Every structure is written in structure tokens, then in C-alpha cells.
């Protein structure tokens, strides 16, 4: 056991007894680290062990970005679902046994510090493998460096300043040596970026074997995640945040700089540009639905451009997708029962319910917020209207629904379903006779029993592959897709944001926004605001364009696990996560009663405390160098 090394973040307790504990993560019960790296086949298993710690970003049970904020809501107590994220959204996070504890790997969180230890074990021992080709060793080392960077990044977003795990400490380390401390945010960011830079040099732009290696990291993933990391570091939560000016280690080390540094936006912009150029050179482009696949209306085709940028397997927009996807489960959580002949099927749960705030977020058909559109009657949005033939590709002709659901942008109809909404696909590919949703009580998509229903009356259609089909009995036909951790539209919008923060409005900023808007079937930013907005000059100021860019991100990336992180980094979570969560009165059978906004819960977000999660108090007791997250 002379090669046994480890890191004990909680202090000296268990130091001597922990050396054997990590051995159970080595595939096939290999007895020692030496044996794990004698042959390529065993070392590859260890590589995949490092991959196994990646957070399940496409699973709303374990990724807090889905349910811990204000994007989705569920009935309570929730069934068929681990509700730890919902407990956080309901204000029940705690220091005794924190929910989704990614620090220790408890309450549904992955043990990311164990992951970092295993990554270091791999890097320390990979040279021992005698039958590993040099080019493959270089690639594997780069992959593990990327994973180390990503695990640090995930912890940074959740906990702010964290200990940096550069290498594992030897078993001979003293008790005091293993009592590690948090490091300043800027140091953590620089370390993450340095690992990503090192990894990008030795990773392939695309995986060489598309059959067996999809989901493995690439240089495009490394460059794009670097852009995301540096944009986070440049954002108000981390860049000159005076709320944490007194956040210090026990030895007085300052963990947050309270001075705004404009150069952070410069670094972010350069990283975005480099990532975009690399993606374009590799042939990546925004997804468009094949024009010859089906004879459908332009309205439906635009919606498919949007829906299938997520659901089309390994499409040309995807920079990094998780091959260990839980898309089967998330599709069931989002799918409404739309076939009246299949009411017995309980596999379509429909319980991951977008909130009314999300329904009001999307633009009008003119590409501006519904509160700004000169032609859109915001004050009458809850009144009833009947869909006409002009609405038939978005709403069921002759169906009575809320005015809120009329004259909205294509992404509204592509991403959301609701009472009266058209649901194209799912086994019916003639858009003259598609499925539609009926969600009032006792109707096809309504509540069945104590669970399996949308508590808000909305369904996240965007996350359901268009070939998901409810069959007879309890059968489903589900087409899986990789969860999009990073896609090109996300990168375009990050670049637009960084450019605006750096230099203010200009043609280059507009161009990246307009590429995304064009795919969404909208006019340019300039045309939309100049023609339709009550604030026609909004896009010409840095502050106004900042608001436009933020909203564009929240709309384009809705339901993909970005809103929660974006609102936090912009320091807007206190506004979004404080107040009532609204939905329709889904227990009603008549439209006049159903279409009444109902308060489902009143959220409380305590700023600045809730911007970062607490460390389990046991860790603080054991390791006095480890300070608790501020406010906890």
C-alpha cells in the first residue's frame, strides 16, 4: 500500500482508516492501486470510474437547476421523484444534513471531493501502464484533467470558494496538514481554467469513434466550458460582490474580491470567441429541422427547429452531451397524456410542471416581452379567447383558452404545452390533424389519482422527443437523446453577453443574438424593439441590452438547467425566488374557473446567504480551518 494517497477534507478523523475505503471504487474489485494500472484494460476502467462522478445534469431529481428554483414546480409531498431539490426550493436547506450534498456525496449529491481524489490517483499512476499507446495516454490524461476542472467548477457554483485539490496528500501527512481551507474565488477560477487549457491541447475536436465514444470530452467541450467558467467569474456574483467582502478564512485570507474587474469580461469574451471559432472549424452549426422530412407548415417547422435542437440525437449543434442520459425518465416526467384512447397508461407522468412565471417569460409574436409589446394586451392576459383557423398550428381550433396563450413567439409553443395547445409528433406527423392537450379536471391530460399530473397546468414539451409514443397498456416507445450540457446557441449568447459587458451595444453583439432569434422565427433585436416595443431605444444602451440578453438566454435555454445558475450569477435570484409560485386552478372542470391564477407556494430566498450552499456542520467541527458558507 505504499502508493496510497488521499485527501481528508473533514480533518484528521478517520485518516488512518480511510486508505482502504476508496478501493471499492476500482472496477472489478482490484486489490491495489498498482494492480489497477498494470494493464490498459484495467486503467481504462479507472478512467471510466472518474467519468462516473459526473453529476446527472439531465436528471431533475439530482440536478438542483431544475426544481430548486422557480422554473418547475410539483405537488407536495412529491411521489415518483426524489424531492430533495423541491425541499431546497421550499426553503428547507440546512446545515445538519444538507440536501443534494455534493461536498460529501450525501442526500443525493455526488461525492465530488472523492471524485477529485480518484482523478489524482489516475494521473499519479497512469505512467505505470505498460501496454498503453503513448497517444492514448496523452488523451486519457487530458480527459481526467478536464474532469478535475469540471468537478471544481461544479463545486464552485454551489459553494463559492472551495479547497483546490491539486494533488492527493500522502498517508504520512499530519493531522494539521490535512485540515485544508477554502481558497479565494479567483484562485479557484484560475486553477480550473489552467486545467481546461492543458486538456484542450491534447483532446480531439470530435471523438474518433462515434459508435463507442460519444459523451467523452473533446477540445470543443474544454474550450466551451472554459467560456462558461470565465463568464461566471466575470458576473456580479463573483466579480466585485461587496456582499461577501467580510468572507474570510480563519487565518484572515480574503475569499472574495469586492472590487469589480472589467478585465474578467475581456477574458470571458476571448474564451467565447475562441470556443466559437473552434466549433465552427469542426463543422458545428445551429440545428434546423430537415426541410424534406415531412410536408409541414412553416409554423410547425420552426417549432421543430427549436424542439429538436434538444431532442435530435447528437445533432450538429451539440458541443457536449451526456451519453449517460436520463432522457427516458425526464420525458415521462414532462409528457402529457394526449391520446384519449390510452388513459390507462400511467407512464406519462406530466408532473414536472413549468410555472406560470415561465409562461409569461416568453416574447410576443413580435419578439419583445409581453409587458412591452404595444399591440399585446397584458392586462387582459387571463381572460378567455377562442382559437380560430389562424391559430390552428399552435392552438386547437375552436378551443377556449387564456389570452396569455395567443400571439406568442414560436419558442412558447415549441417549449410549452397547456390546455388547448397543439402537440405535434408523438406518432401523428400530419400537422393538419395533430394531438392537442385537454388539461381541465376529468379531461385527458388532467390529474389521475393522487399524483401524475401537472400542478400548474403546463407541460415542458421541449424536453419530450417528438417520437415519444404512448402505446397500449403500460407501454411506451421512447427515443432517447443525450442531455445537452453545452450547445452552440448557449455559447453564442454567452459571447453576446460578454461583448456587451465589455464594450456595450454594437453590431457584433446584435449579430450573435440575431442568429439565435432567426432560428426561433423572430425579427432581429433592432427591428423588434424599434417597431413593437414601448421602449424602442432599449437595445441601444448597455443596461437595456443587458436585460435583453439575459431574457434571451432565459427563453432560449428554458428548461435545460441553466436558469437557476444564470439568475444566481447575475445576482437576480433574490428577485426571482422570492414570492408566489403560480399555476392555473387545475382542479376545475370549467374554463372560467380553471383559468384563475392560483398561488401554489410562497418562496423565500434569503440573500446573500442562499447564493451558496452550506457545508455540513460536522465538517466544520472536525476541521476548524474550514469556514462555513456565509450566513449559515
Q: Give CA separation, 570 vs 237, 436, 547, 579, 627, in Å.
A: 6, 37, 11, 18, 25
Question: Mean pLDDT per 10-residue run, the chain (632 residues)?
Answer: 38 31 35 83 96 95 96 92 96 98 97 97 96 97 98 98 95 86 98 98 94 93 98 98 95 95 98 98 97 90 97 96 80 92 79 98 98 98 98 98 98 98 94 96 88 94 92 79 96 98 98 98 98 98 98 98 98 97 97 98 98 97 96 96
Residues in CB range of 503: below 8 A, 6 or more apart: none
Cross-strand pairs, 436: 422
Determine the Cα–Cα distance for residues 607 and 155; give it in Å rounded to an integer. 19
Q: Rounded to the nearest 10 degrees, what angle do helices 507-519 and 488-503 cross at?
A: 150
pLDDT at site 106: 97
pLDDT at site 327: 77
The CATH code of the domain at 5-55+110-283 is: 1.25.40.890
pLDDT at site 552: 98
Q: Where are the domains of the chain?
A: 5-55+110-283, 298-314+326-483
**Cβ proximity of 583 and 457 under 8 Å:** yes
Cross-strand pairs, 109: none
**Cβ proximity of 183 and 161 under 8 Å:** yes
Q: How would you classify the pairing of strands 416-418 and 458-460?
A: antiparallel
Mind giving me the DSSP string for 291-330?
TTSS---HHHHHHHHHHHHHHSTT-TTEEEEESS--HHHH
pLDDT at site 475: 77
pLDDT at site 315: 96
pLDDT at site 25: 36
pLDDT at site 158: 98
Backbone angles phi, psi at 631, to 5 degrees: 95, -15
Determine the Cα–Cα distance for residues 319 and 228; give it in Å rounded to an integer. 13
Determine the Cα–Cα distance for residues 102 and 58; give it in Å rounded to an integer. 16
**Cβ proximity of 238 and 205 under 8 Å:** no
pLDDT at site 324: 66
Amino acid at each position: 500500500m505504499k502508493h496510497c494517497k488521499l485527501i481528508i477534507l473533514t480533518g484528521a478523523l478517520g485518516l488512518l482508516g480511510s486508505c482502504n475505503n476508496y478501493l471499492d471504487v476500482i472496477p472489478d474489485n482490484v486489490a491495489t492501486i498498482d494492480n489497477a494500472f498494470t494493464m490498459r484494460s484495467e486503467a481504462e476502467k479507472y478512467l471510466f470510474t472518474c467519468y462516473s462522478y459526473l453529476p446527472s445534469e439531465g436528471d431533475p431529481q439530482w440536478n438542483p437547476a431544475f426544481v430548486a428554483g422557480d422554473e418547475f414546480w410539483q405537488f407536495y409531498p412529491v411521489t415518483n421523484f426524489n424531492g430533495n431539490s423541491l425541499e431546497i426550493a421550499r426553503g428547507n436547506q440546512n446545515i445538519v444534513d444538507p440536501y443534494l450534498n455534493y461536498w460529501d456525496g450525501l442526500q443525493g449529491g455526488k461525492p465530488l471531493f472523492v471524485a477529485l481524489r480518484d482523478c489524482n490517483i489516475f494521473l499519479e499512476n497512469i505512467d505505470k501502464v505498460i501496454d498503453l499507446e503513448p497517444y492514448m495516454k496523452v488523451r486519457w490524461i487530458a480527459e481526467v484533467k478536464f474532469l478535475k476542472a469540471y468537478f471544481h467548477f461544479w463545486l464552485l457554483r454551489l459553494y463559492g470558494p472551495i479547497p483546490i485539490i491539486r494533488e492527493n496528500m500522502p498517508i504520512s501527512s499530519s493531522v494539521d496538514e490535512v485540515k485544508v481551507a477554502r481558497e479565494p474565488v479567483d484562485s479557484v477560477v484560475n486553477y480550473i481554467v489552467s486545467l481546461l487549457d492543458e486538456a484542450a491541447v491534447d483532446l480531439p475536436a470530435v471523438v474518433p469513434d462515434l459508435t463507442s465514444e460519444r459523451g467523452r470530452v473533446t477540445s470543443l467541450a474544454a474550450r466551451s466550458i472554459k467560456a462558461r467558467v470565465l463568464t461566471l467569474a466575470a458576473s456580479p456574483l463573483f466579480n466585485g460582490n461587496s456582499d461577501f467582502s467580510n468572507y474570510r478564512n480563519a487565518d484572515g485570507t480574503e475569499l472574495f474580491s469586492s472590487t469589480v474587474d472589467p478585465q474578467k469580461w475581456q477574458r470571458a469574451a476571448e474564451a467565447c470567441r475562441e470556443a466559437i471559432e473552434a466549433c465552427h472549424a469542426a463543422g458545428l452549426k445551429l440545428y434546423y429541422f430537415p426541410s424534406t422530412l415531412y410536408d409541414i407548415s412553416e409554423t410547425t417547422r420552426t417549432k421543430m427547429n427549436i424542439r429538436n435542437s434538444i431532442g435530435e440525437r447528437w445533432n450538429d449543434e451539440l458541443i457536449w452531451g451526456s451519453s449517460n442520459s436520463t432522457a427516458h425518465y425526464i420525458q415521462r416526467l414532462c409528457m402529457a397524456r394526449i391520446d384519449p384512447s390510452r388513459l390507462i397508461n400511467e407512464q406519462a407522468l406530466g408532473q414536472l410542471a413549468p410555472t406560470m412565471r415561465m409562461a409569461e417569460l416568453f416574447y410576443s409574436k413580435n419578439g419583445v416581452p409581453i409587458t412591452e409589446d404595444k399591440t399585446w394586451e397584458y392586462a387582459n392576459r387571463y381572460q378567455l379567447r377562442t382559437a380560430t383557423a389562424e391559430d390552428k398550428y399552435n392552438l386547437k381550433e375552436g378551443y377556449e383558452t387564456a389570452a396569455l396563450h395567443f400571439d406568442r413567439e414560436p419558442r412558447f409553443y415549441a417549449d410549452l404545452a397547456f390546455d388547448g395547445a397543439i402537440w405535434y409528433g408523438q406518432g401523428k406527423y400530419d400537422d393538419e390533424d395533430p394531438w392537442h392537450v385537454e388539461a381541465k379536471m376529468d379531461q385527458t391530460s388532467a390529474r389521475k389519482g393522487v399524483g401524475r399530473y401537472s400542478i400548474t397546468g403546463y407541460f415542458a414539451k421541449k424536453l419530450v422527443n417528438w417520437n415519444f409514443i404512448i402505446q397500449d397498456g403500460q407501454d411506451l416507445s421512447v427515443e432517447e437523446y443525450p442531455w445537452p450540457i453545452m450547445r452552440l446557441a448557449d455559447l453564442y449568447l454567452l459571447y453576446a453577453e460578454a461583448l456587451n459587458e465589455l464594450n456595450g451595444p454594437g453590431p457584433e453583439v446584435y449579430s450573435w443574438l440575431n442568429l439565435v432569434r432567426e432560428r426561433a422565427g423572430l425579427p432581429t433585436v433592432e427591428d423588434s424593439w424599434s417597431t413593437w416595443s414601448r421602449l424602442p431605444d432599449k437595445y441601444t444602451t448597455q443596461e437595456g441590452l443587458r436585460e435583453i440578453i439575459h431574457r434571451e438566454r432565459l427563453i432560449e435555454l428554458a428548461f435545460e438547467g441553466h436558469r437557476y445558475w444564470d439568475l444566481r450569477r447575475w445576482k437576480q435570484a433574490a428577485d426571482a425566488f422570492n414570492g408566489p409560485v403560480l399555476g392555473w386552478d387545475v382542479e376545475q372542470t370549467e374554463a372560467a374557473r380553471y383559468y384563475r391564477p392560483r398561488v401554489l407556494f410562497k418562496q423565500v430566498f434569503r440573500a446573500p446567504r442562499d447564493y451558496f450552499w452550506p457545508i455540513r456542520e460536522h465538517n466544520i467541527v472536525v476541521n476548524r480551518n474550514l469556514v462555513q458558507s456565509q450566513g449559515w
